[in-house]
Structure 1
Amino acid sequence: MDAPRAVILDLDDTLFDDTACTRAGLLALTQRYGLSCDADDLFRRHAAHIHAIDPLLFRGDLDAHGARTLRFTRLLTDLGVFTPDGTAATGIYREAYRAAWALLDGATDVLHTLRRAGVVTAVLTNYVREVQLDKLAHFGLQTLLDAVLCVDDIGCAKPDARAYHAACAALAVAPGQAVMVGDSWEKDVQGARNAGLGAVWVNRGGIPAPDPAVPKVARLADLPAALGLVPA
Protein backbone atom coordinates (compact mmCIF):
# COMPACT_ATOMS: atom_id res chain seq x y z
CA MET A 1 0.00 0.00 0.00
CA ASP A 2 1.24 3.50 -0.87
CA ALA A 3 1.44 5.72 2.18
CA PRO A 4 -1.76 7.80 2.52
CA ARG A 5 -2.05 11.51 3.24
CA ALA A 6 -4.90 10.91 5.68
CA VAL A 7 -5.98 8.11 8.00
CA ILE A 8 -9.57 7.97 9.28
CA LEU A 9 -10.14 5.70 12.25
CA ASP A 10 -13.20 4.14 13.80
CA LEU A 11 -13.42 4.59 17.59
CA ASP A 12 -15.31 1.75 19.31
CA ASP A 13 -13.41 -1.54 19.20
CA THR A 14 -10.73 0.06 17.05
CA LEU A 15 -9.13 2.54 19.45
CA PHE A 16 -11.44 2.14 22.47
CA ASP A 17 -12.29 -1.25 24.00
CA ASP A 18 -16.06 -0.92 23.85
CA THR A 19 -16.74 -4.65 23.94
CA ALA A 20 -14.98 -5.17 27.28
CA CYS A 21 -16.72 -2.14 28.80
CA THR A 22 -20.11 -3.30 27.57
CA ARG A 23 -19.59 -6.74 29.02
CA ALA A 24 -18.61 -5.18 32.37
CA GLY A 25 -21.79 -3.10 32.39
CA LEU A 26 -23.99 -6.06 31.50
CA LEU A 27 -22.36 -8.20 34.18
CA ALA A 28 -23.18 -5.53 36.77
CA LEU A 29 -26.82 -5.60 35.68
CA THR A 30 -27.09 -9.39 35.93
CA GLN A 31 -25.61 -9.30 39.42
CA ARG A 32 -27.90 -6.49 40.57
CA TYR A 33 -31.05 -8.20 39.26
CA GLY A 34 -30.02 -11.75 40.15
CA LEU A 35 -30.17 -12.94 36.55
CA SER A 36 -28.56 -16.11 35.23
CA CYS A 37 -27.64 -15.36 31.64
CA ASP A 38 -25.17 -16.66 29.12
CA ALA A 39 -22.77 -13.74 28.69
CA ASP A 40 -22.56 -14.05 24.91
CA ASP A 41 -26.33 -14.34 24.49
CA LEU A 42 -26.83 -11.30 26.73
CA PHE A 43 -24.31 -9.33 24.68
CA ARG A 44 -26.18 -10.21 21.48
CA ARG A 45 -29.55 -9.27 22.95
CA HIS A 46 -28.17 -5.96 24.16
CA ALA A 47 -26.70 -5.25 20.71
CA ALA A 48 -30.07 -5.99 19.11
CA HIS A 49 -31.78 -3.43 21.36
CA ILE A 50 -29.13 -0.85 20.49
CA HIS A 51 -29.71 -1.51 16.79
CA ALA A 52 -33.47 -1.03 17.24
CA ILE A 53 -33.20 2.18 19.29
CA ASP A 54 -30.31 3.94 17.55
CA PRO A 55 -32.50 5.36 14.75
CA LEU A 56 -34.52 7.24 17.38
CA LEU A 57 -31.31 8.63 18.85
CA PHE A 58 -29.86 9.60 15.49
CA ARG A 59 -33.09 11.40 14.47
CA GLY A 60 -33.04 13.38 17.70
CA ASP A 61 -36.19 11.76 19.10
CA LEU A 62 -34.14 10.67 22.14
CA ASP A 63 -30.99 11.98 23.77
CA ALA A 64 -28.22 9.59 24.84
CA HIS A 65 -29.64 9.14 28.34
CA GLY A 66 -33.15 8.56 27.02
CA ALA A 67 -31.86 5.97 24.57
CA ARG A 68 -30.06 4.12 27.36
CA THR A 69 -33.12 4.21 29.62
CA LEU A 70 -35.32 2.75 26.89
CA ARG A 71 -32.66 0.18 26.00
CA PHE A 72 -32.35 -1.20 29.52
CA THR A 73 -36.09 -1.10 30.13
CA ARG A 74 -36.58 -3.24 27.04
CA LEU A 75 -33.61 -5.52 27.76
CA LEU A 76 -34.62 -6.26 31.34
CA THR A 77 -38.24 -6.79 30.30
CA ASP A 78 -36.97 -9.22 27.67
CA LEU A 79 -35.07 -11.04 30.45
CA GLY A 80 -38.19 -11.39 32.60
CA VAL A 81 -37.75 -8.48 35.04
CA PHE A 82 -41.20 -7.14 35.93
CA THR A 83 -41.65 -3.37 35.32
CA PRO A 84 -37.91 -2.58 35.44
CA ASP A 85 -36.70 0.90 36.33
CA GLY A 86 -34.77 1.85 33.21
CA THR A 87 -33.21 4.90 34.83
CA ALA A 88 -31.84 2.89 37.75
CA ALA A 89 -30.60 0.18 35.39
CA THR A 90 -28.85 2.80 33.28
CA GLY A 91 -27.02 4.06 36.35
CA ILE A 92 -25.86 0.57 37.29
CA TYR A 93 -24.68 -0.17 33.78
CA ARG A 94 -22.96 3.17 33.23
CA GLU A 95 -21.05 3.02 36.50
CA ALA A 96 -19.55 -0.35 35.61
CA TYR A 97 -19.08 0.58 31.94
CA ARG A 98 -17.12 3.73 32.78
CA ALA A 99 -15.08 1.97 35.46
CA ALA A 100 -13.87 -0.44 32.76
CA TRP A 101 -12.93 2.24 30.21
CA ALA A 102 -9.70 1.36 28.43
CA LEU A 103 -7.99 1.98 25.15
CA LEU A 104 -6.96 -0.95 23.05
CA ASP A 105 -3.25 -1.69 23.07
CA GLY A 106 -1.27 0.68 20.89
CA ALA A 107 -4.02 3.29 20.36
CA THR A 108 -2.07 6.27 21.65
CA ASP A 109 1.23 5.13 20.16
CA VAL A 110 -0.20 4.67 16.68
CA LEU A 111 -1.71 8.18 16.69
CA HIS A 112 1.67 9.60 17.71
CA THR A 113 3.33 7.63 14.91
CA LEU A 114 0.85 8.91 12.33
CA ARG A 115 1.37 12.49 13.48
CA ARG A 116 5.17 12.17 13.29
CA ALA A 117 4.80 10.79 9.76
CA GLY A 118 2.90 13.92 8.72
CA VAL A 119 -0.37 12.08 8.19
CA VAL A 120 -3.58 13.93 9.09
CA THR A 121 -6.05 11.91 11.14
CA ALA A 122 -9.71 11.82 12.03
CA VAL A 123 -12.10 9.66 14.00
CA LEU A 124 -15.29 8.75 12.15
CA THR A 125 -17.83 7.09 14.42
CA ASN A 126 -21.41 5.91 14.12
CA TYR A 127 -22.33 7.19 17.57
CA VAL A 128 -23.26 10.58 19.01
CA ARG A 129 -20.81 13.35 19.84
CA GLU A 130 -21.94 13.72 23.46
CA VAL A 131 -20.75 10.19 24.22
CA GLN A 132 -17.76 9.84 21.92
CA LEU A 133 -16.08 13.13 22.80
CA ASP A 134 -16.25 12.13 26.45
CA LYS A 135 -14.22 9.01 25.68
CA LEU A 136 -11.66 10.86 23.57
CA ALA A 137 -11.23 13.60 26.16
CA HIS A 138 -10.83 11.09 28.98
CA PHE A 139 -7.78 9.61 27.29
CA GLY A 140 -6.48 12.85 25.77
CA LEU A 141 -6.83 11.57 22.21
CA GLN A 142 -8.40 14.73 20.82
CA THR A 143 -5.01 16.45 20.82
CA LEU A 144 -3.70 13.74 18.49
CA LEU A 145 -6.54 14.08 15.97
CA ASP A 146 -7.22 16.69 13.32
CA ALA A 147 -10.97 16.05 13.19
CA VAL A 148 -13.70 14.09 14.97
CA LEU A 149 -16.89 13.30 13.06
CA CYS A 150 -19.85 11.68 14.81
CA VAL A 151 -23.13 10.53 13.36
CA ASP A 152 -25.00 13.61 14.58
CA ASP A 153 -22.42 15.91 12.97
CA ILE A 154 -22.94 14.61 9.47
CA GLY A 155 -26.49 13.23 9.50
CA CYS A 156 -25.55 9.83 8.13
CA ALA A 157 -23.64 6.78 9.27
CA LYS A 158 -21.12 4.39 7.81
CA PRO A 159 -21.39 2.65 5.36
CA ASP A 160 -23.10 5.64 3.66
CA ALA A 161 -20.51 7.11 1.28
CA ARG A 162 -21.34 10.61 2.54
CA ALA A 163 -19.85 9.77 5.94
CA TYR A 164 -16.40 8.97 4.53
CA HIS A 165 -16.53 11.92 2.15
CA ALA A 166 -17.35 14.24 5.06
CA ALA A 167 -14.27 12.99 6.89
CA CYS A 168 -12.13 13.52 3.79
CA ALA A 169 -13.50 17.06 3.43
CA ALA A 170 -12.71 17.79 7.09
CA LEU A 171 -9.10 16.72 6.43
CA ALA A 172 -8.92 18.53 3.06
CA VAL A 173 -8.00 15.39 1.12
CA ALA A 174 -9.53 13.51 -1.79
CA PRO A 175 -11.00 10.06 -1.04
CA GLY A 176 -8.18 8.41 -2.96
CA GLN A 177 -5.65 10.01 -0.58
CA ALA A 178 -7.28 8.58 2.55
CA VAL A 179 -7.45 5.21 4.26
CA MET A 180 -10.22 4.10 6.62
CA VAL A 181 -9.15 1.88 9.54
CA GLY A 182 -11.61 -0.09 11.65
CA ASP A 183 -12.88 -3.39 12.97
CA SER A 184 -16.14 -3.64 10.99
CA TRP A 185 -15.83 -5.18 7.54
CA GLU A 186 -19.12 -3.66 6.40
CA LYS A 187 -18.73 -0.18 7.90
CA ASP A 188 -14.99 0.40 7.91
CA VAL A 189 -13.74 -1.60 4.95
CA GLN A 190 -16.41 -2.31 2.37
CA GLY A 191 -18.16 1.02 2.79
CA ALA A 192 -14.93 2.98 2.62
CA ARG A 193 -13.73 1.17 -0.50
CA ASN A 194 -17.09 1.74 -2.19
CA ALA A 195 -16.64 5.45 -1.42
CA GLY A 196 -13.21 5.55 -3.09
CA LEU A 197 -11.00 5.29 -0.01
CA GLY A 198 -8.43 2.69 0.87
CA ALA A 199 -9.03 0.52 3.92
CA VAL A 200 -7.23 -1.51 6.56
CA TRP A 201 -9.19 -4.06 8.55
CA VAL A 202 -8.47 -4.34 12.27
CA ASN A 203 -9.06 -8.06 12.67
CA ARG A 204 -8.07 -9.14 16.16
CA GLY A 205 -9.97 -12.41 15.99
CA GLY A 206 -8.27 -13.88 12.93
CA ILE A 207 -11.55 -14.05 10.99
CA PRO A 208 -11.08 -15.00 7.32
CA ALA A 209 -11.32 -11.87 5.19
CA PRO A 210 -14.06 -11.68 2.54
CA ASP A 211 -11.38 -10.16 0.29
CA PRO A 212 -7.85 -11.37 1.10
CA ALA A 213 -6.37 -8.46 -0.87
CA VAL A 214 -7.44 -5.96 1.80
CA PRO A 215 -4.61 -5.20 4.26
CA LYS A 216 -5.40 -6.33 7.79
CA VAL A 217 -3.76 -6.02 11.18
CA ALA A 218 -4.29 -8.01 14.35
CA ARG A 219 -2.93 -5.19 16.54
CA LEU A 220 -2.61 -1.45 16.17
CA ALA A 221 1.17 -1.61 16.48
CA ASP A 222 1.21 -3.19 13.01
CA LEU A 223 -0.84 -0.42 11.40
CA PRO A 224 2.00 1.94 10.33
CA ALA A 225 3.65 -0.89 8.39
CA ALA A 226 0.34 -1.88 6.79
CA LEU A 227 -0.09 1.75 5.70
CA GLY A 228 3.38 1.82 4.12
CA LEU A 229 4.63 4.38 6.62
CA VAL A 230 7.43 2.23 8.08
CA PRO A 231 9.19 -0.89 6.81
CA ALA A 232 7.15 -4.04 7.37
Structure 2
Amino acid sequence: MKPPLRAVIFDFDDTLFDDAACTRAGLAELARLHGVTHWTPQATFTRHAEIIDEISPRMFSGQLTGHTARVERFSRLLAEWGIANPDGEAATHTYRAAYTRAWTLIDGAAEVLGELRERGLRTAILTNYVQEVQLEKLRFFGLLDALDAVLCVEDLPAPKPDARAYHAACAALDVTPAEALMIGDS
Protein backbone atom coordinates (compact mmCIF):
# COMPACT_ATOMS: atom_id res chain seq x y z
CA MET A 1 0.00 0.00 0.00
CA LYS A 2 1.30 3.42 -0.99
CA PRO A 3 1.93 5.81 1.94
CA PRO A 4 -0.20 8.96 2.08
CA LEU A 5 1.06 12.22 0.59
CA ARG A 6 2.57 14.32 3.39
CA ALA A 7 4.65 16.92 1.52
CA VAL A 8 4.93 18.87 -1.70
CA ILE A 9 8.31 20.12 -2.87
CA PHE A 10 8.44 22.89 -5.47
CA ASP A 11 11.09 24.19 -7.75
CA PHE A 12 10.87 27.98 -7.52
CA ASP A 13 11.92 29.68 -10.75
CA ASP A 14 9.34 29.20 -13.51
CA THR A 15 7.25 27.01 -11.22
CA LEU A 16 6.02 29.49 -8.58
CA PHE A 17 7.99 32.58 -9.71
CA ASP A 18 7.89 33.82 -13.33
CA ASP A 19 11.64 33.96 -13.83
CA ALA A 20 11.45 33.84 -17.64
CA ALA A 21 9.41 37.07 -17.81
CA CYS A 22 11.75 38.82 -15.38
CA THR A 23 14.80 37.60 -17.27
CA ARG A 24 13.36 38.88 -20.54
CA ALA A 25 12.72 42.28 -18.93
CA GLY A 26 16.31 42.48 -17.66
CA LEU A 27 17.78 41.44 -20.99
CA ALA A 28 15.56 43.87 -22.90
CA GLU A 29 16.80 46.74 -20.73
CA LEU A 30 20.43 45.74 -21.33
CA ALA A 31 19.85 45.52 -25.08
CA ARG A 32 18.07 48.90 -25.10
CA LEU A 33 20.83 50.57 -23.08
CA HIS A 34 23.53 49.23 -25.43
CA GLY A 35 21.56 49.82 -28.64
CA VAL A 36 21.59 46.12 -29.51
CA THR A 37 19.26 45.53 -32.43
CA HIS A 38 21.22 42.85 -34.30
CA TRP A 39 20.14 40.11 -31.84
CA THR A 40 16.50 39.16 -31.46
CA PRO A 41 15.06 39.00 -27.93
CA GLN A 42 14.72 35.21 -28.33
CA ALA A 43 18.33 34.79 -29.47
CA THR A 44 19.47 36.87 -26.50
CA PHE A 45 17.31 34.85 -24.08
CA THR A 46 18.61 31.56 -25.50
CA ARG A 47 22.28 32.60 -25.40
CA HIS A 48 21.86 33.99 -21.88
CA ALA A 49 20.51 30.60 -20.74
CA GLU A 50 23.42 28.81 -22.44
CA ILE A 51 25.95 31.05 -20.65
CA ILE A 52 24.22 30.30 -17.34
CA ASP A 53 24.51 26.57 -18.06
CA GLU A 54 28.21 27.00 -18.86
CA ILE A 55 28.93 28.98 -15.68
CA SER A 56 26.65 27.13 -13.24
CA PRO A 57 29.01 24.24 -12.44
CA ARG A 58 31.54 26.77 -11.11
CA MET A 59 28.86 28.42 -9.00
CA PHE A 60 27.58 25.05 -7.71
CA SER A 61 31.13 24.13 -6.67
CA GLY A 62 31.60 27.42 -4.81
CA GLN A 63 34.19 28.85 -7.23
CA LEU A 64 31.82 31.74 -8.03
CA THR A 65 29.25 33.58 -5.92
CA GLY A 66 25.88 34.49 -7.39
CA HIS A 67 27.14 38.02 -8.00
CA THR A 68 30.46 37.07 -9.60
CA ALA A 69 28.62 34.58 -11.82
CA ARG A 70 26.28 37.38 -12.97
CA VAL A 71 29.23 39.70 -13.69
CA GLU A 72 30.91 37.02 -15.78
CA ARG A 73 27.63 36.15 -17.51
CA PHE A 74 26.96 39.73 -18.57
CA SER A 75 30.57 40.43 -19.52
CA ARG A 76 30.39 37.46 -21.88
CA LEU A 77 26.98 38.41 -23.29
CA LEU A 78 28.03 42.02 -23.94
CA ALA A 79 31.22 40.82 -25.63
CA GLU A 80 29.17 38.52 -27.86
CA TRP A 81 26.94 41.47 -28.73
CA GLY A 82 30.11 43.20 -29.93
CA ILE A 83 30.33 45.72 -27.08
CA ALA A 84 33.93 46.90 -26.70
CA ASN A 85 35.30 46.74 -23.14
CA PRO A 86 32.16 45.17 -21.64
CA ASP A 87 31.46 46.25 -18.07
CA GLY A 88 29.89 43.18 -16.48
CA GLU A 89 29.48 44.93 -13.12
CA ALA A 90 27.45 47.81 -14.60
CA ALA A 91 25.49 45.38 -16.76
CA THR A 92 24.69 43.31 -13.68
CA HIS A 93 23.23 46.36 -11.93
CA THR A 94 21.21 47.36 -15.01
CA TYR A 95 19.88 43.84 -15.48
CA ARG A 96 19.06 43.30 -11.77
CA ALA A 97 17.16 46.60 -11.55
CA ALA A 98 14.94 45.71 -14.52
CA TYR A 99 14.68 42.08 -13.40
CA THR A 100 13.47 42.97 -9.89
CA ARG A 101 11.01 45.58 -11.19
CA ALA A 102 9.39 42.79 -13.22
CA TRP A 103 9.07 40.30 -10.34
CA THR A 104 5.83 38.37 -10.46
CA LEU A 105 4.53 35.05 -9.26
CA ILE A 106 2.97 32.46 -11.53
CA ASP A 107 -0.82 32.92 -11.31
CA GLY A 108 -2.21 31.02 -8.35
CA ALA A 109 1.18 30.23 -6.75
CA ALA A 110 0.46 31.85 -3.37
CA GLU A 111 -3.00 30.34 -3.27
CA VAL A 112 -1.67 26.84 -3.94
CA LEU A 113 0.84 27.15 -1.09
CA GLY A 114 -1.92 28.41 1.22
CA GLU A 115 -4.24 25.56 0.26
CA LEU A 116 -1.53 22.96 0.86
CA ARG A 117 -0.83 24.48 4.27
CA GLU A 118 -4.57 24.38 5.12
CA ARG A 119 -4.65 20.69 4.17
CA GLY A 120 -1.81 19.98 6.57
CA LEU A 121 0.80 19.18 3.94
CA ARG A 122 4.40 20.20 4.47
CA THR A 123 5.91 22.37 1.72
CA ALA A 124 9.41 23.20 0.57
CA ILE A 125 11.31 25.01 -2.14
CA LEU A 126 14.15 23.05 -3.77
CA THR A 127 16.16 25.27 -6.10
CA ASN A 128 19.45 25.19 -7.92
CA TYR A 129 19.87 28.92 -7.46
CA VAL A 130 21.63 30.85 -4.72
CA GLN A 131 20.02 31.42 -1.34
CA GLU A 132 20.62 35.18 -1.26
CA VAL A 133 18.43 35.78 -4.34
CA GLN A 134 15.79 33.12 -3.66
CA LEU A 135 15.19 34.28 -0.07
CA GLU A 136 14.96 37.87 -1.30
CA LYS A 137 12.19 36.84 -3.73
CA LEU A 138 10.37 34.71 -1.17
CA ARG A 139 10.43 37.57 1.38
CA PHE A 140 9.24 40.06 -1.25
CA PHE A 141 6.17 37.94 -1.94
CA GLY A 142 5.60 37.01 1.71
CA LEU A 143 5.88 33.29 0.99
CA LEU A 144 8.28 32.20 3.74
CA ASP A 145 5.45 31.55 6.22
CA ALA A 146 3.84 29.16 3.73
CA LEU A 147 6.98 27.00 3.60
CA ASP A 148 8.47 24.49 5.99
CA ALA A 149 11.86 24.46 4.27
CA VAL A 150 13.82 26.33 1.62
CA LEU A 151 16.76 24.45 0.14
CA CYS A 152 19.03 26.35 -2.23
CA VAL A 153 22.08 25.13 -4.10
CA GLU A 154 24.38 25.94 -1.15
CA ASP A 155 22.30 23.68 1.11
CA LEU A 156 22.44 20.64 -1.15
CA PRO A 157 24.92 17.78 -1.43
CA ALA A 158 24.48 18.09 -5.22
CA PRO A 159 22.26 20.20 -7.51
CA LYS A 160 19.09 18.84 -9.09
CA PRO A 161 18.53 16.49 -10.88
CA ASP A 162 20.89 14.50 -8.64
CA ALA A 163 18.74 12.29 -6.38
CA ARG A 164 20.64 13.54 -3.33
CA ALA A 165 19.00 16.96 -3.75
CA TYR A 166 15.52 15.44 -3.54
CA HIS A 167 16.50 13.26 -0.60
CA ALA A 168 17.79 16.37 1.21
CA ALA A 169 14.43 18.05 0.70
CA CYS A 170 12.59 15.01 2.04
CA ALA A 171 14.89 14.92 5.07
CA ALA A 172 14.26 18.62 5.73
CA LEU A 173 10.52 17.92 5.69
CA ASP A 174 10.87 14.72 7.73
CA VAL A 175 9.14 12.60 5.07
CA THR A 176 10.15 9.66 2.94
CA PRO A 177 10.42 10.11 -0.83
CA ALA A 178 7.26 8.00 -1.22
CA GLU A 179 5.38 10.55 0.91
CA ALA A 180 6.45 13.55 -1.19
CA LEU A 181 5.56 15.04 -4.55
CA MET A 182 8.01 17.18 -6.53
CA ILE A 183 6.62 19.88 -8.83
CA GLY A 184 8.86 21.75 -11.26
CA ASP A 185 9.06 23.22 -14.70
CA SER A 186 11.41 20.56 -16.08
TM-score by length of 2: 0.96
Aligned to 1:9: 10
Per the TM alignment, residue 3 of structure 1 is displaced from its structure 2 partner at its CA by: 5.7
Per the TM alignment, residue 60 of structure 1 is displaced from its structure 2 partner at its CA by: 1.5
Deviations 1:177-222 (A, max 9, x none): 10001111xxxxxxxxxxxxxxxxxxxxxxxxxxxxxxxxxxxxxx
Aligned to 2:131: 129
Corresponding position: 1:82 with 2:69: no
Aligned to 1:222: none
Per the TM alignment, residue 112 of structure 1 is displaced from its structure 2 partner at its CA by: 0.5
Unaligned 5+ segments in structure 1 are 185-232
Aligned to 1:100: 102
> What CA distance in whole angstroms lies between the structure 1 residues aligned with 2:22 and 2:151?
22
Aligned to 2:20: 19
> What CA distance in whole angstroms lies between the structure 2 residues aligned with 1:57 and 1:120?
29
Which letter maps to 2:27?
Answer: L
> What CA distance in whole angstroms lies between the structure 2 residues aligned with 1:50 and 1:155?
20
Moved more, 90-99 or 149-158: 149-158
Unaligned 5+ segments in structure 2 are none
Per the TM alignment, residue 23 of structure 1 is displaced from its structure 2 partner at its CA by: 0.0
Q: Which structure has more RCO (C-alpha within 8 Å, separation ≥ 6)?
A: 2
> What CA distance in whole angstroms lies between the structure 1 residues aligned with 2:74 and 2:109?
30
> What CA distance in whole angstroms lies between the structure 2 residues aligned with 1:2 and 1:40?
44
Between the two proteins, the alignment pairs up a number of residues equal to 184
> What CA distance in whole angstroms lies between the structure 2 residues aligned with 1:87 and 1:26?
15
Per the TM alignment, residue 55 of structure 1 is displaced from its structure 2 partner at its CA by: 1.4
Which letter maps to 1:7?
Answer: V
Greater than 4 Å deviation, 4+ residue runs: none
What is the percentage of aligned positions where both structures have the same residue?
Answer: 58
Aligned to 1:206: none
> What CA distance in whole angstroms lies between the structure 2 residues aligned with 1:72 and 1:2?
47
Distance 1:143 1:179, change over 3 A: same
Which letter maps to 2:70?
Answer: R
Please provide the CA RMSD for this pair. Answer: 1.3
Equivalences for residues 201-216 of structure 1 within 5 A: none
2:123/2:149 contact within 8 Å kept: yes
Aligned to 1:43: 45
SS in 1 for 2:86: coil
> What CA distance in whole angstroms lies between the structure 1 residues aligned with 2:11 and 2:113?
13
SS in 1 for 2:181: strand
Per the TM alignment, residue 155 of structure 1 is displaced from its structure 2 partner at its CA by: 3.0
> What CA distance in whole angstroms lies between the structure 1 residues aligned with 2:41 and 2:3?
42
Deviations 1:69-128 (A, max 9, x none): 100000110111111111111111010000000111001100010001010010000111
2:75/2:88 contact within 8 Å kept: yes
Which letter maps to 2:5?
Answer: P
TM-score by length of 1: 0.77
2:3/2:178 contact within 8 Å kept: no
> What CA distance in whole angstroms lies between the structure 1 residues aligned with 2:31 and 2:145?
37
